Amino acid sequence: MEKMREANLFRQELMRAKRRGDQKTLQRLEKRMDYIKKVELDVMKKNFTVMIISMALFLGAYWGTAMYFGDVEISLPGDFFIPLISQEGALTFYGWYILAFFAASLPLSKAFGLTMAGGGLAEKSAQDKK
């Protein structure tokens, strides 16, 4: 988490320097750009790995439960249609997966104090929580 925070602070400082037109600060920050890119790549790899593992575990568990409840069809109300998720008034297998995945992951990320910041998950700072 510390690496993400460092990269986010770097990006914020870079944006401030660009807005002010502060060439001295921009030159100083450009020297650190390669290091920050490596840090961001490392963080992105870790986030991607966690995402793939989570999706694989969740999809595996979902397929397992689908064997028992695969014949149960839940009808959507009226002409309710969700592109790529529903078909002929019922949710598809992948539709249930997508809805269940988000229904489970959003509260978990909230519970663990994670938020989307700078294109990746970042821990909320004490200032953000107030």
Q: Which tens digit of pLDDT belongs to each residue from 24-35?
A: 888 888 888 888
Q: How confident is the model at residue 130 (pLDDT cuts 50, 70, 90)?
A: very low
DSSP strand E in the chain: where? Answer: 86-87, 90-91, 114-117, 120-123
Tokens of 128: 């953000």
Q: Is the pLDDT of residue 3 over 70?
A: yes
Q: Residues of the chain with pLDDT > 90: what percent? A: 2
Rounded to whole angstroms, how far apart are CA atoms 76 and 88?
9
Q: What integer is the mean pLDDT of 72-80?
A: 70
Q: How confident is the model at residue 36 (pLDDT cuts 50, 70, 90)?
A: confident
Instruction: Give the pLDDT of residue 4.
Output: 79
Strand partners, 130: none
Rounded to whole angstroms, how far apart are CA atoms 79 and 32?
55
